[in-house]
Amino acid sequence: MARKYFGTDGVRGRVGASLLTPEFALKLGWAAGRVFAERCGGRPVLIGKDTRISGYLFESALEAGLSAAGVDILLLGPLPTPGIAYLTRTLGACGGVVISASHNPYYDNGIKFLAAGGDKLSDEMEARIEALLDAPLVCQPADALGRARRLVDARGRYIEWCKSRFADDLDLRGLKLVVDCAHGAAYHCAPAVFAELGAEVEAIGVAPNGLNINAGCGATAPQALAERVRACGADAGIALDGDGDRLIMVDAQGRIRDGDALLYLLARDRRARGLPLGGVVGTVMSNLALEQALAALGIPFVRTAVGDRHVMEELKRRGWMLGGETSGHLIVRDKAPCGDGIVAALQVLEVMRRSGCALHALLHDWAPCPQVQRNVPWPRGTDPARLPELAAAVAETERALAGRGRVLLRPSGTEPVLRILLEGEEEDRLGALAEQLVERARAATETETQETA
């Protein structure tokens, strides 16, 4: 579907610029409210957010828009995205709104919508919302306006649900964990989940001030967590991102374990225990080592475009249980209906408890292929495959790798950058090849700009 306003996951960008303004958020809330009312009128819409300071602004604007459309609102306050999805489903809500820019810095924000079951909106519903955004806002009469109230126990409900995802016959007593919440939406949820299951928890990244979300901490910057795990002798470290749907872990030796390593561990355990699996879904960014390691175990593996939405769609289509991204979006379908960093961490900890092995021992045979990634400023909507100079540069790089690696160019769906990924056997050589591609990409965009000027 060609989208005018929605990106790959709602609307995201710099606060105060482009679409991320109070005026647009109000109109967006009204348009979404109209669509929700058409589908399931009389049921409330939930609004949750992460901890960035602009969340207050957009929460109020969306509340006003939904009320103008005649929709009741339940305000959840700061809560991880998977928690908002869970409550949308269990409370029988008409839909949900997530105010978050996930792993982005505080000056960005985003707005995305959930359907009644807590899933991502269908293309059809997004198209209907977009059509209404170009129509005049018509407010309901005063006696038909939506009412708003706050759900005071949202945090507690989500904590209890997360705990229920852990095996009944196990606990976490005797484990020392460092939990980094990235000063984000999980700051008041994640430490409680692990502590109430018996772990000794040291929590970091749990002092949000509206400006420090994802700032040198959490799943996008787990180096500080690794240092703390080593310093305090913890058994493992758990890093979440700003909205709590990504997981990166650190073993007792301080080694950072990304989504590919954790997918391999979970898939191998499920195969060994005869649990439902089918196969594993990754993305074009998944490390080649994951594909090779799963093949050695006889586990099918397929790739999708980047984005947990694509991973989930493929899992449902195939009836498989496990998928995710290198960045830490992990989906365990029979444990959670969407990517959930806390629930995914519990699945890894469950493997550790059942086996009696430390995380580094469980992953002793995991050896990712070297990868080099670069980001280049990139005009939105530009297809790198349609720029002859850049296509030629990619072909040259692939010839240089001689079939022992791969090249991937992918325009970001959330930022105006081109992501360049090289994978192969020699990291130093990959770096040099990546820098050549960066220069060719910059030159190609300059040429394109001059020709279209």
Q: Which two tokens stand for residue 179?
A: 């939990």
Percent of the chain at pLDDT > 70 equals 98
Q: Which CATH number fits domain 371-452: 1.10.30.50, 3.40.630.10, 3.20.20.70, 3.30.310.50?
A: 3.30.310.50
The catalytic residue positions are 102
pLDDT tens-digit map of 129-158 = 999 999 999 999 999 999 999 999 999 999
173-257, CATH topology level: Alpha-D-Glucose-1,6-Bisphosphate; Chain A, domain 3 (3.40.120)
Q: Quick check: do 258-368 and 371-452 share a fold?
A: no
| pLDDT for the residue 450 | 56
| pLDDT for the residue 159 | 98
Closest of 283, 87, 90, 257 to residue 185, by C-alpha: 87
Provide CB contacts within 8 A for 175, sequence distance 6+: 198, 199, 200, 235, 236, 349, 352, 353
Per-residue confidence band for 8, with pLDDT thresholds at 50, 70 and 90? confident
pLDDT tens-digit map of 298-324 = 999 999 998 888 999 999 999 999 999
Global pTM reads 0.90
How far apart, in whole angstroms, are the C-alpha atoms of residue 79 and residue 51?
Answer: 9
11-152, CATH topology level: Alpha-D-Glucose-1,6-Bisphosphate; Chain A, domain 3 (3.40.120)
| pLDDT for the residue 449 | 57
Instruction: For residue 107, give the 3-state DSSP assignment.
Output: coil
Provide CB contacts within 8 A for 147, sequence distance 6+: 67, 72, 73
Q: Was domain 258-368 assigned CATH 1.10.3720.10?
A: no
Domain ranges of the chain: 11-152, 173-257, 258-368, 371-452
